[in-house]
Structure 1
Amino acid sequence: MFAEERLEKIIRLLNDRGKVVVKELSEIFEVTEDCIRKDLKTLEKDGLIKRTYGGAVLNRQSAANSNIVNRRSLNIEAKRTIAEKAFEIIMPNETIFLDISTTNILIAEKLAGGNKRVTVVTNMIDVINAFSKSDHVKVIGTGGVYYKELDGFVGSTAIETISRYKVDKAFIGSVGVNIFDKSVTTFDIEDGNTKRAIISAGKSVYLVMESKKFYMDGVYKFADLFDIDAVIVDTDPEEQILKELEKADVEII
């Protein structure tokens, strides 16, 4: 087996398992442990993994913090795929929550262009604006302290309003999910606390995010995977991620 092929297979094992051990890799590939250590050193130099005592783990990325305006233009096709899936599971006459998320703007646009009579509760200005010409959608804004960078309302006043609602489905954005420690993260503490209130308000809670975010982390944990009912993604993640989601009783859509 060529070294390049072995490196590729090590990455696949890491995607499946989350971590690898030098001794086990040596047995799998029938090479010396020193050879495996050199392989891991090469992968670490390329920024793909982080070596640990006796093995290695995937090098998770820290999600880049940017305001909503900048994020709206990123990964548009992936977000449209997610929005289509979300639109399909929203039933007529339901009350839903769309939180601060660029994907949720696209869900709002789908609802505005459709004919499903629904009630939308939201703390995001661009979601409210999406329904400016839609007579079939009732829109409720939370109010609260406006954060320009987030294009929405977060904090204690918004949370107090949210706590009075019980919605059929809550659609929540996230900058990262770590299936191994079960954390769901965002950038901002006030945004995170508001998202936690939205989770409490939802009879069913859906994360809307691109599959690549299973390999990213934000700086503030606002939920555990066990708080989530389903994750709506653009493409199916790796097999190990699917297994961990199943263990946490989280559906993938």
Structure 2
Amino acid sequence: MGKMFAPERRKIIMEKLNEQQRIIIKDLSKEIKVSEATLRTDLTKMEEEGLLKRTHGGAILPDDIDNETSFSTREQKNRDEKSAIAKKAAELLSPGQCIMLDASSTALELARYLSDMQIRLTVVTSGINTALELHDHPDITVILLGGIVKKGSYSLEGSLGINILSQINIDLMFTSANGFSFESGLTDFSVYEVELKKAMVNAANRVVALLDHTKINKNSIASFASIDQIDTIITDYAMQDSSLKKFKEHNIDVEVVAIY
């Protein structure tokens, strides 16, 4: 095995934590042939970023990360903001479009809004709840991407559903993220779900990011959309002029919604 860079090591660490809930430095060092000292440095940095919690000789997922991966927990956070963002997102739609919704709680809010609209659409989604929300709508055709059902969630992950994306023309993709920054773009904490979201982003003609204020200027473990792949951001975050200028330089439209 050649030299492994920090992002590669960190990805492996998070994969192990997601699978096993804990890692032991000594065992991981032998498995991936990286020194224990280097892994300790990685874990210290990752703990500072809130991605894990150091233990004697290893690391575990912190309680708040477990909670963050629970869909029911995420669904209740910032509900008013997500509802306002979803309402603004619906304004981008035109009858007859094919759109894609990820499995985020914000995309589910958009699905709830669409369920009460009189509009003809095709909706492709990786969210089980999103598909169920729309399946009774008389004018919306729902396509649920195949994949592995993620534990503690209602999302699909993995590459099983990727092939169908090449057979569909996606006008708009609506996605949320665990974090957004100019350096990393859109990031998430599930390295498995990220692989499917990357394929979804690549298949869409336009990508619309639905981000409440807690997601802005925050990084998570894995990126699924670079800054140059994002066309529009809808947020309740009060943008400074310097940030708006930077978005404009990247040809990203920013819509800021007001919360009352």
Same fold (TM over 0.5): yes
TM-score (ref. length: structure 1) = 0.72
> How much does 1:223 deviate?
1.9
TM-score (ref. length: structure 2) = 0.70
Residue 123 (str. 1) matches residue 123 (str. 2) = no
Q: Secondary structure at the match of 2:91?
A: helix
Give the structure 2 partner of residue 158 of structure 1: 161
Distance 2:137 2:91 in 1: 18
Q: Secondary structure at the match of 2:224?
A: strand
> How much does 1:182 deviate?
4.3
> How much does 1:231 deviate?
0.7
Residue 172 (str. 1) matches residue 189 (str. 2) = no
> How much does 1:134 deviate?
1.3
Distance 1:163 1:191 in 2: 19
> How much does 1:61 deviate?
6.3
The list of structure 1 runs, each at least 4 consecutive aligned residues, that deviate by more than 4 angstroms after superposition, is 60-64
Alignment length (residue pairs): 193
Distance 1:241 1:142 in 2: 35
Q: 1:90 aligns with which of 93, 98, 107?
A: 93
> How much does 1:151 deviate?
1.0
Q: Which amino acid aligns with 2:218?
A: M
Give the structure 1 partner of residue 248 of structure 2: 246
Q: 2:216 aligns with which of 209, 214, 217?
A: 214
> How much does 1:137 deviate?
0.9
> How much does 1:116 deviate?
0.8
Give per-residue Cα distances to partners, 1:143-170, cap 9 Å, x unaligned: 2211133312111102223333221100
Which one has a bigger Cα radius of gyration? Answer: 1
Q: Which amino acid aligns with 1:115?
A: Q
Q: 1:177 to 1:245 in 2, by over 3 A?
A: same
Distance 2:168 2:148 in 1: 19
Q: Secondary structure at the match of 2:167?
A: coil
Pairing 1:51-200 to 2, within 5 Å after superposition: 62=50, 65=65, 66=68, 67-179=70-182, 181-200=183-202
> How much does 1:62 deviate?
4.7
Structure 1 alignment gaps of length 5 or more: 1-59
Q: Which moved more, 1:216-225 or 1:158-167?
A: 158-167
Q: Secondary structure at the match of 2:119?
A: coil
Give the structure 2 partner of residue 45 of structure 1: none
Distance 1:174 1:143 in 2: 20
Root mean square deviation, CA, Å: 1.8
Distance 1:95 1:130 in 2: 17
Q: 1:121 to 1:133 in 2, by over 3 A?
A: same
Give the structure 2 partner of residue 21 of structure 1: none
Distance 2:205 2:212 in 1: 23
Q: 1:227 aligns with which of 215, 226, 229?
A: 229
Q: Which amino acid aligns with 1:155?
A: G
